[in-house]
Structure 1
Amino acid sequence: MANNNPVHILVIRLSAMGDVAMTVPVILGICKKYPSVKITVLTKTFMGPIFSDIPNVSVFNADVKGKHKGILGLWKLYKELANLQIHMVADLHHVLRSSILKKFFKLRAIPFIQIDKGRDEKKKLIDPKRVKLEPLKSTFKRYSEVFEKLGYTISVNEMVVLSKKSLPKDFVHLKDNQEQLLVGIAPFAAFKGKMYPLNLMKEVVNELNNTNKYKIILFGGGQQEVEILSTWDNQFNNVFSAAGKLSFSAELSLISNLRLMLAMDSGNAHLAAMFGVPTVTLWGVTHPYAGFSPFGQSKDNALLADRVQYPLIPTSIYGNKFPAGYENVMSTIQPTKVVQKIIEVINNNV
């Protein structure tokens, strides 16, 4: 059992933006339930704004490609972290880098609990010879188990989402009203196996645009994505691209004001969900059963590729692997079905 004495917990979660965003409901819930707890999140510099509004939480930047690279760099990182008077460590990443840090923290007998990622279970989930397809433990549950082993229990019902923020100055004119609600669309993903075909997504945008009931905000990053979304911005009168126009912090503020986010099995879905924004997700060769569904969303908000036509789905946990003939699985999700689901979810939450 946790006591009332101030305790400083180091939380390790590097890697992908979506994985980092998924820590928010858990960490925010811990801070609410145990107000004397102080948390430092070890993550990449870019991720800092994700935690900026959580009380008693600070971010320590891991420069894993610079001064914290390699064994000597990790030793330097450990020494810097030790100076923060860490009492215990919640490793929500559990990779080689964090396992090396674990050995260093053991020198001071500091409790260090690592997440059970369920690697064997996930291998069985994507095994084409599997007998049954059954849901695995959610990532939120896996995160909470780490804190529980440190003495800080947190149930899914005790997890909390972030509050809505003020609209960025350049987007104040897009504040929604009863005539036009703010809808976000993030059409890109890190891997082809998770990305809805752009020609079909453009049909979704067109149908929503033609209703004149929504102001559609497009999200993306990188020069190519910015250019594609810019052309859509110019083509449709109710469409506005935010790609390449905002800092990450301002982009989060904009996302928090959405009435709905449409995204892939990707980081943007988790960024929206951490603000409690209703989120519709599209799934290709990955599957919600792997435990990466956005926080607090109905399972009905996930639109899946046709497993009758493509029975080997899921073929990958991360969307980076799929067998020959599975390149176009997401084409089985019809644009009209996506639009219908968006309208249904919005109407149920207005």
Structure 2
Amino acid sequence: MKLLVIRLSAFGDVAMTVPVIDSLARQYPQLDITVLSRPFMAPLFSLMPANVHFQGIDLAQNDGPSGLLALFRQLHGEGFNLVADLHDVLRSKVLRTLFFLSGVKTAHIDKGRRGKKALVRQHGKELVEQPTSFSRYAAVFARLGYPVKPAFHSIYGQGKGDASLFASVAVPACGEQWIGVAPFAAHRGKILPQATVEELLRRLTADNRHRVFLFGGGGQERAAMEQWAAAYPRVVSLSGKLKLDGELALISHLNVMVSMDSANMHLASLVGVPVVSVWGATHPFAGFMGWGQSMDNTVQLDLPCRPCSIFGNKPCLRGDYACLEGLKAEMIMNKINLILGV
């Protein structure tokens, strides 16, 4: 049987498919699985069992009715018997519908919009933990006849990534404790205030055993990271310095990652590294906690308005982002120290 798995974006959501697809492939070695996503996601799937294949597509070239029809014809010619839509957006809906009309069995994710809406509404909020994305993905495969029990530790198994992939920025040293800090995210409601980041870096670098790696993107994020790296000893900015496979390998060598509700939380989870996850406008109850991570390692404030957003993209109802501004570096340090056994 040939299975097509569709999950085109976003980065964190694609990363969350990995534990489930890896487990599926190992439980059903006779199943030939192709993951359809954006090309730069390929390293997430490169170390999977041999029955998993990755196919990257350029969304711009496969947009609109004619582009999607051409993509369908290409995929249909590859002889898929099953289609799992783990995205449920317009593009994936069109693709799976075309497959369905051609006689291929399909199933798609239930995103649980009603429960999530109740979780974030301003009045009559229902703070009820929602099913995780992992369980929602697994449910799709079950509906296709392949129930899966995710059993996953790391894309590197019980080992770590190849240190040569990040040798240009760091070399593991005996006695050092490597700590990742990823204070940024795509939306304002999930970004740690710069003053809090600076205080956290000051506390971390006060210990000569600590080497701190800053994770983030380009533009203003890169400028801030370079400024912090210049101001604090043993702090390294990774913005623009490594490819995804290099970042994954380096993360696997961390003792702990500090991350907002963002893709870096999930990358650390995929390589078996404990995460101190920091939550502002969003909440772990929405189902996006990293694989294998503990609620005991979360940092968040108990405010009646939280959570106000599933993705952190809505303006603050109070106007002051108290859920983020009220977080203290000491709160994060306490969680780090617990993980490090200090």
How far apart are the structure 2 equivalents of 1:169 and 1:195?
Answer: 26
How far apart are the structure 1 equivalents of 2:192 and 2:219?
Answer: 19
How far apart are the structure 1 equivalents of 2:204 and 2:166?
Answer: 25
Residues 111-146 of structure 1: CA distance to partner in whole angstroms, max 9, x if unpaired? 110000001111111111225311011111001100
State how 1:119-134 maps to structure 2 within 5 Å. Answer: 119-134=113-128
| TM-score with structure 2 setting the length | 0.94
How far apart are the structure 1 equivalents of 2:306 and 2:259?
Answer: 19
1:258 and 2:268 are equivalent in the alignment: no
Instruction: Name the Cα RMSD after superposition.
Output: 1.5
Following superposition, the deviation at residue 166 of structure 1 comes to: 0.8
Q: Which residue does the alignment assign to 2:305?
A: 312
Following superposition, the deviation at residue 160 of structure 1 comes to: 4.3
1:57 and 2:52 are equivalent in the alignment: yes
Q: Which residue does the alignment assign to 1:174?
A: 171
1:187 and 2:168 are equivalent in the alignment: no
Following superposition, the deviation at residue 232 of structure 1 comes to: 1.4
How far apart are the structure 2 equivalents of 1:176 and 1:192?
Answer: 36
Residues 8-50 of structure 1: CA distance to partner in whole angstroms, max 9, x if unpaired? 2111111211000000110111111112222111111111111
How far apart are the structure 1 equivalents of 2:239 and 2:118?
Answer: 38
Asked if the contact 1:182–1:258 (Cα under 8 Å) also holds between the matched residues in 2, the reply is: yes
Q: Alignment partner of 1:211: what SS?
A: coil
Q: Which residue does the alignment assign to 1:4?
A: none
Opposite residue 200 of structure 2, the aligned amino acid is V
Ranges of 4+ aligned residues in structure 1 off by more than 6 Å: none
1:111 and 2:84 are equivalent in the alignment: no
- Quickly say closer, same or farther: Cα 1:155–1:130, change in 2 above 3 A: farther
Following superposition, the deviation at residue 183 of structure 1 comes to: 1.0
How far apart are the structure 1 equivalents of 2:194 and 2:263?
Answer: 18
Asked if the contact 1:273–1:295 (Cα under 8 Å) also holds between the matched residues in 2, the reply is: yes
Q: Alignment partner of 2:341: what SS?
A: helix
Asked if the contact 1:233–1:241 (Cα under 8 Å) also holds between the matched residues in 2, the reply is: yes
Residues 237-288 of structure 1: CA distance to partner in whole angstroms, max 9, x if unpaired? 2111111111122112111221111110000100110111101110001000
Asked if the contact 2:177–2:209 (Cα under 8 Å) also holds between the matched residues in 1, the reply is: yes
Following superposition, the deviation at residue 225 of structure 1 comes to: 1.6
| Candidates 140, 144, 152, aligned match of 1:146 | 140
How far apart are the structure 2 equivalents of 1:299 and 1:154?
Answer: 24
Opposite residue 53 of structure 2, the aligned amino acid is S
Asked if the contact 1:28–1:160 (Cα under 8 Å) also holds between the matched residues in 2, the reply is: no
Moved more, 220-229 or 180-189: 220-229
Opposite residue 104 of structure 1, the aligned amino acid is L
Q: Which residue does the alignment assign to 2:92?
A: 98
Following superposition, the deviation at residue 173 of structure 1 comes to: 4.2
How far apart are the structure 2 equivalents of 1:260 and 1:300?
Answer: 14
Q: Which residue does the alignment assign to 1:325?
A: 319
How far apart are the structure 1 equivalents of 2:125 and 2:193?
Answer: 30
How far apart are the structure 1 equivalents of 2:330 and 2:216?
Answer: 23
How far apart are the structure 2 equivalents of 1:31 and 1:114?
Answer: 19
* Paired residues, number: 336
How far apart are the structure 2 equivalents of 1:275 and 1:85?
Answer: 33
Following superposition, the deviation at residue 84 of structure 1 comes to: 1.9
1:24 and 2:4 are equivalent in the alignment: no
State how 1:1-350 maps to structure 2 within 5 Å. Answer: 7-55=1-49, 56-66=51-61, 68-156=62-150, 158-163=151-156, 164-167=160-163, 168-171=165-168, 173-177=170-174, 179-307=175-303, 311-321=304-314, 322-347=316-341
Following superposition, the deviation at residue 347 of structure 1 comes to: 2.1
Percent of residue pairs bearing the same amino acid type: 40
